[in-house]
Structure 1
Amino acid sequence: MSNADFVICGAGIVGLSIARELVSRGHKNILIFDKEAAPGKHASGRNSGVLHAGIYYDPGTLKARMCFEGNLLMREYCRQRQLPLLETGKVVVARDESEIPTLLELKRRATANGAQVSVVDEQTLRELEPEAKTAGKALHSPLTAVVDPKAILLALRKELEDTGVRFMFGTRFTDAGDGFVFTDNGSLEYGLFINAAGAYSDTVAHAFGIGRNYRLIPFKGIYKTLKKHAADRIRGSIYPVPNIKNPFLGIHFTRSVHGDVYLGPTAIPALGRENYGILKGMDKELPAILMRDAQMFLRNPKFRGVALEEPRKYMFKYFFEDARKLVRHLDPDDIEASPKSGIRPQLVDMRNHELVMDFLVEQGRTSLHVLNSISPAFTSAMSFARMVVNEHMNI
C-alpha cells in the first residue's frame, strides 16, 4: 500500500493546480494518480485554450470569483515559463437586435466581476476585428487570451515532479475505504483524498457516499478549422451572444497560439464520457446515460432545446449556418474537418433535473470532491486551487 498526506485523483488542470498550491504552502507528501498515461488527456488537454475574462458569470458565483483572477495568474505563469500566449482579445457579437439586451447584461456582469470590457459600435468593431459583424453593438474583451493547454500541463507536471510530487499513471480508481482508496494498481492510504476526476468525479464521490443527488451528463464538442486564406482574415476570437440560461457559449471562431482558426465547439449530448467519435467511446454505461438524457429531455425545457438543436450540427449545413452569422465573409469551401473534439461533463441535480451552473465542491470527513469542473475551469484553475486550500482544507 502506497501512502501520502494528500492523494489526488485526476491529473487534469484542477488536480495539478491544487497540488501546486499545496506545494507553495510547504506541503511535500503529495501523490497524484490518473488512469491515463500522462496529464490532461481529456477535458484539460482538449479545450480551445481560451483564457476567459469573467464576462458570462453571475456576480457572487465561484465562476465569477475565480475566472478573472485565474486569467491573470495563468497569463503570468505562461510569461514566466515562456509558454505560448496569444493576447488578441475577443469580441462578442449580436446576431440580431433582440440579443442587444443580453449583450448589455454581459457588460453588467463583467463590470461587477472586475473584468475590463467595453461596448463598441460597428465601426469600432470593424477596426478591432474586420471580419466580425454585429447588429449595432458588440462587446470587446481585451484581456481574453489564448494559450496552449498541453504546454501548460507539461510545464506543471515538470514543476511538480521537480518539487517531489509523485505521479502514478495508468492507475484507475475502483472504490473507497476508510482512509484509503482501491485502484487497479494497488491501494493508496491518504490523510486527505482530493477528487479531481473530471468526467468521473461523480462516480468517485458516490463511492465516498458524497453527492449522490448529482450525476454528470456528457456533452460532445466537435470542431472544424478554417483554411489558411480564410483563417488569415480572423485576428482573435469572435463569439456570439450566448443563451445565458445555459452553460454553453455557442459555435465561435478562435485563433490558436499556433495560427490555426477553429470553429466550434458544439454541445451535442454524448453517448459516453469518452465518446469523442461517432461511436468510439461508448461503453457499458450507455443505457444509464441514455436514461438520464431521457429524463432531462422530458423534464427540463432548456436541456430539451439543446438536445433538439445541437445534434443537427453533425450536419455541415447547420454547423455552417451558425458560424456564418458571426462574420462578413464565409463560404462552405473555407471550412475543413478537424480531428479536435472534447467532452464537457455537465453536472445535473437529479432532485430537480436542473443543470448545475457553477463549480461545486463537496466535502467529506477526510475527502474533498471537485464536481462540475467545466468551463472556465482551465482559466480559473490557479485561483480555484487557492480557494479550495483556503476554504476547504484545515491546514
Structure 2
Amino acid sequence: MRHDYAVIGGGIVGLATARALAQQHPDASILLLEKESGPARHQTGRNSGVIHSGIYYKPGSMKAQLCAAGVQSMMRFCDDYGLKYEQCGKVIVATEPHELPQLEALYRRGLDNGLDVRRLTGEQVREFEPHVQALAGIRVASTGIVNYRHVSQVLVELARSHGTQVHFDTCVTRLTPTRDGYDIGTTAGDHAARVVVNCAGLHSDRVARLAGTDPGGSIVPFRGEYYELRPERRHLVRGLIYPVPNPDFPFLGVHFTRMIDGSVHAGPNAVLAFGREGYRKTDLNVRDLAEVLANPGFRALARQHLREGAMEMARSWSKARFVQSLQRLIPEVSADDIVPCAAGVRAQALTQRGQLVDDFLLVDGPNALHVCNAPSPAATSSLEIGRVIAGRVPPLAARRSVAVQAPPPRPQPRHDQGPQGVHA
C-alpha cells in the first residue's frame, strides 16, 4: 500500500508530527515506523521530564519561539487527556561572584523571550529552596514537570484512533526515491510513501543520507549520567534547581530535578558516548565511535573544550567529584545521599567546523523533510514542532480520493501503562 506520509521515528517529535499531519490533512494515509518495540525508548523516555520555559534560547530562534508556545500546548494536552503535570517553576542560582553577570544576562534574555522571571537575593532563593546556598538567583515561574513517556503513549493511542498505522519493531534500512515519493525498505517488510518525514533522533542524519539528503551536520552522542537522591533525603529539593550555565561550555551543568513521581534526580554531566545508544560507560559501538573520531568537527570541538571535557570525564568516573558539583548548590548533600540511576543520550548535531548546531534544524529534501537536530527543549516543544512540520512538508501531488471513516472516540489514557524505562 502506498501511503501519503511516512513518519520515521516513534519518539515524542515523531508522534506529535503524525498527530499534526492527521489534523491538518484528515484525508491522508499516514504510516509511522519505529525500530523499537514501543514508543519513547530513547531521548524522550530518558530525559528529565522538564517542561522548559525557554529562558536559555536566543530570542527569535525556533527553540525560543516553539518552547514558549510548547509550554502552553503541552499543559493543555495534559489537561485534555488527564495526564499529571505540575507547573512548579525553577530557580537558577549564582554561587560565585563571577557568575553574577551571566545570571543578569539570563534574566534579560528571559524578559526578551516574554517570560515571567524574577530576580532573587540569596535570602529570597531560600524562600523557594531552603537548602540552597546562593549569592543571588532568578525564579522562572513557567517551568513544569511531566512524564513524557505517558504523553507519548497517549499520542500513540490518538494516532491509531485516527487511522494512522503505527508499526513498532520496524527499522528503516533503505529509502529509494521514486517518481512520486519513496520505496521504504525495513526489517519488517517494504512500504511506499509519497512524502517521508524523518524524526529518527539519534539516527536522523543517517536516515537523511539514506534519502540522498545532506543533513547539515553529523549526530554526536553525549551521555548524561544521573544520580538519584535517596527517598529520605528528597526533602532537600522542593522543585528544580539549576546553576548558572558556563558560557564557554554548551551544556547547562549539573542540577537538581524533582520528577513528577516525587523522586529527585541530580545531574547530568555530559560525556561522549561510545555509541549512539551508549547508555552505560561500558557500551561500545565501533561504527558509531569511529564516525565520531573521524569527524573533523568533533576534533575541533574537543580541542576547543578540552578542559571542560576533561572535567566532565572526571565527574563521570568519580562520585566524589560529582558530589562536589552538587554541593555548590546544596552543601548538605553527601555521597551517601545519592545512588546511580539510568542515563540518557543527547543527539546533538555538529557541523564539520566543530560548531554545535544551536537551534532546531529542519532540512528539506525531495518529497521529504528531515528533523536533523532536536535536542532539549524538543519534548517541551514537540506539539509545536509537529505543527510546523505538518505545515511545511512538500504538498502531495496527485492526491488520491480516500474514503474517510469517522474516528472512534478519543482514547482515555491509562497512566499505569506505557514503556517502563526510567527517566534520566
Calculate the TM-score normalised by the size of structure 1: 0.94
- Whether the aligned pair in 2 keeps the contact of 1:16 and 1:156 (CA below 8 Å) is yes
- Whether the aligned pair in 1 keeps the contact of 2:293 and 2:299 (CA below 8 Å) is no
The separation in 1 between residues aligned to 2:228 and 2:294, in whole angstroms, is: 34
Equivalent residue in structure 1 for 2:324, among 321, 326, 333: 321
Per-residue deviation, 1:213? 4.6
Residue 157 of structure 1 corresponds to which residue in structure 2? 156
Q: Which amino acid aligns with 1:154?
A: Q
Per-residue deviation, 1:298? 4.4
Residue 145 of structure 2 corresponds to which residue in structure 1? 146
In structure 2, the CA distance between the partners of 1:247 and 1:18, relative to structure 1 (3 Å rule), is farther
The separation in 1 between residues aligned to 2:12 and 2:166, in whole angstroms, is: 14
User: Is 1:372 the equivalent of 2:373?
Assistant: yes
Residue 49 of structure 1 corresponds to which residue in structure 2? 49
Residue 168 of structure 2 corresponds to which residue in structure 1? 169
Q: Once superposed, which parts of structure 1, at least 4 consecutive aligned residues long, lie more than 6 Å away?
A: none
The separation in 2 between residues aligned to 1:201 and 1:255, in whole angstroms, is: 30
The separation in 1 between residues aligned to 2:139 and 2:240, in whole angstroms, is: 10
The separation in 2 between residues aligned to 1:114 and 1:259, in whole angstroms, is: 30
User: Is 1:198 the equivalent of 2:201?
Assistant: yes
| Correspondence list, 1:1-395, <5 A | 2-27=1-26, 28-135=28-135, 137-178=136-177, 179-211=182-214, 213-280=216-283, 282-292=285-295, 296-298=298-300, 301-314=303-316, 315-338=318-341, 340-350=342-352, 352-394=353-395
The separation in 2 between residues aligned to 1:208 and 1:306, in whole angstroms, is: 36
Q: Note the alpha carbon deviations across 1:297-329, whole angstroms, 9 max, x for none.
A: 445544434422211112101111111101242
- Whether the aligned pair in 2 keeps the contact of 1:297 and 1:307 (CA below 8 Å) is no
In structure 2, the CA distance between the partners of 1:52 and 1:194, relative to structure 1 (3 Å rule), is same
In structure 2, the CA distance between the partners of 1:300 and 1:223, relative to structure 1 (3 Å rule), is closer
- Whether the aligned pair in 1 keeps the contact of 2:42 and 2:344 (CA below 8 Å) is yes
3-state SS of 1:91 partner? strand
Q: Which amino acid aligns with 2:154?
A: A
Q: Which amino acid aligns with 2:55?
A: I
3-state SS of 2:287 partner? coil
Q: Which amino acid aligns with 2:234?
A: A
What stretches of structure 1 of length at least 5 have no aligned partner? Answer: none
- Whether the aligned pair in 2 keeps the contact of 1:86 and 1:256 (CA below 8 Å) is no
Q: Which amino acid aligns with 1:76?
A: R
The separation in 2 between residues aligned to 1:13 and 1:180, in whole angstroms, is: 25
Per-residue deviation, 1:360? 0.3
Per-residue deviation, 1:259? 0.8
Alignment: residue pair count: 390
Per-residue deviation, 1:217? 0.6
Q: Note the alpha carbon deviations across 1:202-237, whole angstroms, 9 max, x for none.
A: 001112222255111100011101112221121100
The separation in 2 between residues aligned to 1:299 and 1:327, in whole angstroms, is: 31
3-state SS of 1:319 partner? helix
3-state SS of 1:100 partner? helix
User: What percentage of residue pairs aligned between the two structures are identical?
Assistant: 33
Per-residue deviation, 1:171? 0.9
3-state SS of 1:58 partner? coil
Q: Note the alpha carbon deviations across 1:341-393, whole angstroms, 9 max, x for none.
A: 1100110111x121111110000120100011100000111112222223444
What stretches of structure 2 of length at least 5 have no aligned partner? Answer: 397-424
Per-residue deviation, 1:279? 1.8
Per-residue deviation, 1:120? 1.1
What root-mean-square deviation, in Å, do the aligned CA atoms of Structure 1 and Structure 2 show? 1.7
3-state SS of 2:184 partner? strand
Calculate the TM-score normalised by the size of structure 2: 0.88
